[in-house]
């Protein structure tokens, strides 16, 4: 069961699901939106009553009573407005959290081929910006359904009570203003997109101008480079000005068009007041008289509010257009959130690891192939070979990180058939990069579990290091903590791997920054620490290889050699050359 409090609904790749996933919030938004926008009619209504009451010379008590009702209606309206704004913002916050949850989750599970040409930092910045823009469009739409659509319904109905034909005539310019805003939305969006692209180009050109200044100067290309930069800057300025001009001019233009509707109101409405004409509809207790100065004032006030809303529709259309464009960009990275099951070990006590005709091919080039071997628990398999022979690729194959040829039968089940939860429950992996979280050493090892970490730190020869740290295992490390050496980071990462050991433990060059003596000391402890596990030990350094149960040598030409240390020294030139080179270069031998 998904334990995340933010739920996007069953179809997060559909915008509607973000509303249906929050029914109570949407109901609250609907109720408060209706009450608030209907309540906004209280201002022009009581304004007209007060004007007519004062003009008629009514008593102070009557005026005070009207003021009290007026203030009460305004207070209720503002309270519902506050609630509406809060619920809309909460809806937007939930939607953005839900959308990001899905985008990040699906991004984490993209295949290497899908990410090969992508800078993850740039990608995440872009999708984060697009999520924010998409949700802002949703928020605007949610708000304006009430603040524009309901306003028009309520206000048009209110104006029709006064004079139907005059209202329809006055509303024609308002409709034209909304139409103009709608038709120009794509032009505004296009200009904005072009300005953003030009901004990106000028940023790249600026970086290039400074980063490669010396190279341009050495080869006498300063003038040419500055000329290109000036052209790029000029293009950006033109596009930015055009975008700003279109965006800034739309609302004033729409406002002017809408306010043309005041002309028939002033001409016809003033005649109604002078003639004392009756209203088109009378409502007992609310609208009972004819046209007065107060009624005309209320009519004009309501119309001006409507005209302002018509002008604001340009901004609304722009936000929705931007939101939809952003949604289209992030939609490929949004699919129903997969609630990955808890790690589950796959284990057949009668089997361990069997490779049959195993090989790896990357971008059409075969790194190696034809590997056949069987290994059991409590064994340590060494993997070595020249640079770029495929050592790391072999290790990542066990995480389903790379496609492979042939068969990997791991604990009685083909590796291709493992679910993600089964990989997590069966394979422990320590890779080249051993970045630590900004947290204590203890938490970096335990990752939230409660078992003591001291035995595992001792197993990787880190106990003496802890003595130099006043807080011991409580010492803060990572980006904002104590700076550790590469060897210290590797040993903490190895302690983490031992702490969370699985049936298969893959160690990819775990001692690259550790001295040979410490490596031998740690490897001697690995057999007891990893009892019940099969260990795949990948290394370019052969200090500990003489003691391993089986060694796999990737020769670099696609072929693979298998055997013990002694067998490979006798029969495998690649292994022999690597080993002898390390002995003559100062590496320790193991007799």
pLDDT in tens, 147-167: 777 778 888 888 888 898 999
Q: Is residue 591 scored above 50 in pLDDT?
A: no
Confidence band (pLDDT; 50, 70, 90) for 566?
A: very high
Structure tokens at 389: 């022979």
Half-sphere exposure of 158 (CA within 13 A, CB side): 26
* Dihedral (Cα; 204, 206, 210, 215), 10-degree rounding: 60
Mean pLDDT for the stretch of residues 68-77: 87
Q: Is residue 366 scored above 90 in pLDDT?
A: no
Annotated domain spans of the chain:
17-333, 353-584
Q: Is residue 125 scored above 80 in pLDDT?
A: no
How many whole angstroms separate alpha carbon 440 and alpha carbon 436?
A: 9
Please tell me the predicted confidence (pLDDT) of residue 2. Answer: 43
> Mean pLDDT: which of 65-69, 129-133, 453-457 is highest?
453-457
Q: Are 305 and 152 in contact (CB under 8 A)?
A: no
pLDDT more than 90, % of the chain = 19
The average confidence (pLDDT) of the chain is 83
Q: Is residue 347 scored above 70 in pLDDT?
A: no
3 state SS of 534: strand
Please tell me the predicted confidence (pLDDT) of residue 351. Answer: 60
From residue 352, alpha-carbon distances to 108, 375, 422, 532, 538 in Å are 29, 6, 15, 11, 19
DSSP notation for 88-142: HHHHHHHHHHHHHHHHHHHHHT--HHHHTT--HHHHHHHHHHHHHHHHHHHHHHH
Please tell me the predicted confidence (pLDDT) of residue 359. Answer: 92
Q: What is the DSSP letter of 145?
A: I
Q: Provide the b/e sequence for 208-225 (b: ≥16 CB within 10 Å).
A: bbeeeeeebeeeeeeeeb
Q: Is residue 116 scored above 60 in pLDDT?
A: no
- Count other C-beta atoms under 10 Å from residue 258's C-beta: 29
Scan for tokens 């002309």, then name that residue. Answer: 263
Poorest-pLDDT segment among 88-102, 112-126, 420-434:
112-126
Q: Is residue 57 scored above 90 in pLDDT?
A: no
Q: 353-584 in CATH: which number?
A: 3.40.50.300
Please tell me the predicted confidence (pLDDT) of residue 400. Answer: 85
Pairing of strands 427-430, 504-508: parallel
Q: Is residue 576 scored above 80 in pLDDT?
A: yes
Q: Is residue 568 scored above 90 in pLDDT?
A: yes
Pairing of strands 439-440, 476-477: antiparallel
How many whole angstroms separate alpha carbon 424 and alpha carbon 582?
A: 36
Please tell me the predicted confidence (pLDDT) of residue 7. Answer: 53
Confidence band (pLDDT; 50, 70, 90) for 113?
A: low
What angle, 0 to 180 degrees and rounded to 10, lies between the N-to-C axes of helices 23-39 and 151-160? 30
How many whole angstroms separate alpha carbon 15 and alpha carbon 27?
A: 17
How many whole angstroms separate alpha carbon 539 and alpha carbon 387?
A: 11
Structure tokens at 50: 């007060």
How many whole angstroms separate alpha carbon 450 and alpha carbon 203?
A: 49
What angle, 0 to 180 degrees and rounded to 10, lies between the N-to-C axes of helices 60-108 and 23-39? 150
Half-sphere exposure of 368 (CA within 13 A, CB side): 24
Confidence band (pLDDT; 50, 70, 90) for 574?
A: very high
Please tell me the predicted confidence (pLDDT) of residue 327. Answer: 86
Mean pLDDT for the stretch of residues 202-223: 80
Half-sphere exposure of 72 (CA within 13 A, CB side): 6
Q: Is residue 91 scored above 50 in pLDDT?
A: yes
Q: Is residue 589 scored above 50 in pLDDT?
A: no
3 state SS of 475: coil
Structure tokens at 132: 């924010």
Poorest-pLDDT segment among 19-23, 405-409, 564-568, 573-577:
19-23
DSSP notation for 10-32: S-TTSTTHHHHT-HHHHHHHHHH
Sign of the torsion formed by the C-alpha atoms of 203, 208, 211 and 214: negative
Q: Is residue 3 scored above 60 in pLDDT?
A: no
- Count other C-beta atoms under 10 Å from residue 516's C-beta: 16
Q: Is residue 573 scored above 70 in pLDDT?
A: yes
Fold topology of 17-333: ABC transporter transmembrane region fold (1.20.1560)
């Amino acid at each position: 069961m998904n334990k995340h409090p933010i739920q996007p609904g069953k179809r997060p790749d559909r915008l509607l699901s973000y509303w249906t996933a929050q029914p109570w919030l949407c109901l609250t938004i609907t109720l408060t939106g209706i009450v608030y926008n209907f309540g906004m009619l209280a201002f022009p209504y009581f304004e007209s009553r007060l004007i007519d009451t004062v003009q008629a010379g009514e008593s102070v008590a009557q005026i005070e009573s009207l003021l009290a009702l007026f203030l009460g209606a305004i207070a209720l309206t503002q309270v519902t407005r506050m609630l509406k704004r809060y619920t809309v913002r909460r809806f937007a916050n939930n939607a953005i959290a839900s959308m990001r949850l899905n985008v990040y989750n699906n991004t984490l599970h993209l295949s290497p081929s899908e990410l090969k040409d992508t800078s993850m930092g740039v990608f995440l910045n872009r999708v984060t910006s697009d999520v924010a823009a998409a949700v802002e469009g949703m928020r605007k739409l949610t708000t304006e359904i009430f603040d524009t659509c309901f306003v028009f319904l309520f206000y048009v109905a209110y104006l029709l009570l006064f004079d139907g034909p005059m209202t329809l005539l006055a509303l024609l310019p308002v409709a034209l203003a909304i139409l103009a805003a709608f038709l120009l939305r794509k032009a505004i969006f296009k200009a904005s997109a072009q300005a953003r692209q030009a901004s990106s180009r000028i940023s790249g050109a600026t970086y290039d101008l400074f980063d490669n200044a010396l190279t341009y100067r050495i080869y006498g290309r300063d003038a040419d480079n500055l000329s290109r930069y000036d052209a790029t800057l000029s293009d950006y300025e033109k596009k930015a000005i055009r975008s700003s001009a279109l965006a800034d001019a739309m609302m004033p233009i729409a406002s002017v068009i809408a306010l043309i509707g005041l002309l028939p109101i002033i001409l016809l409405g003033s005649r109604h007041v002078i003639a004392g004409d009756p209203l088109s509809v009378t409502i007992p207790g609310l609208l009972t008289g004819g046209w007065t100065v107060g009624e005309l004032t209320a009519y004009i006030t309501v119309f001006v509010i409507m005209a302002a809303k018509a002008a604001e529709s340009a901004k609304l259309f722009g936000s929705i257009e931007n939101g939809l464009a952003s949604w289209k960009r992030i939609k490929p990275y949004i699919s129903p959130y997969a609630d990955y099951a808890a790690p589950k070990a796959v284990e057949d006590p009668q089997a361990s690891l069997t490779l049959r005709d195993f090989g790896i091919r990357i971008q059409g080039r075969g790194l190696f192939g034809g590997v056949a071997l069987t290994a059991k628990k409590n064994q340590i398999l060494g993997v070595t070979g020249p640079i770029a022979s495929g050592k790391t690729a072999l290790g990542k194959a066990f995480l389903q990180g790379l496609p492979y040829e042939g068969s990997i039968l791991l604990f009685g089940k083909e590796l291709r058939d493992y679910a993600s939860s089964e990989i997590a429950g069966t394979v422990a992996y320590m890779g080249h990069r051993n970045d630590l979280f900004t947290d204590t050493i203890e938490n970096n090892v335990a990752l939230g579990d409660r078992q003591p970490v001291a035995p595992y730190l001792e197993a990787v020869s880190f106990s003496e290091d802890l003595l130099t740290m006043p807080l011991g295992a409580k010492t803060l490390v990572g980006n904002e903590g104590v700076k550790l050496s590469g060897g210290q980071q590797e040993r903490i990462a190895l302690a983490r791997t031992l702490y969370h050991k699985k049936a298969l433990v893959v160690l990819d060059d775990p001692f690259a920054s550790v001295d040979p003596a410490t490596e031998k000391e740690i490897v001697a402890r690995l057999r007891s620490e990893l009892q019940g596990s099969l260990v795949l030990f990948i290394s370019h350094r052969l200090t500990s290889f003489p003691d391993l149960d089986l060694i796999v040598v990737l020769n670099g030409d696609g072929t693979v050699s298998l055997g013990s240390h002694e067998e490979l020294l006798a029969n495998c030139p690649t292994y022999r050359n690597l080993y002898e080179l390390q002995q003559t270069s100062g590496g320790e031998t193991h007799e």
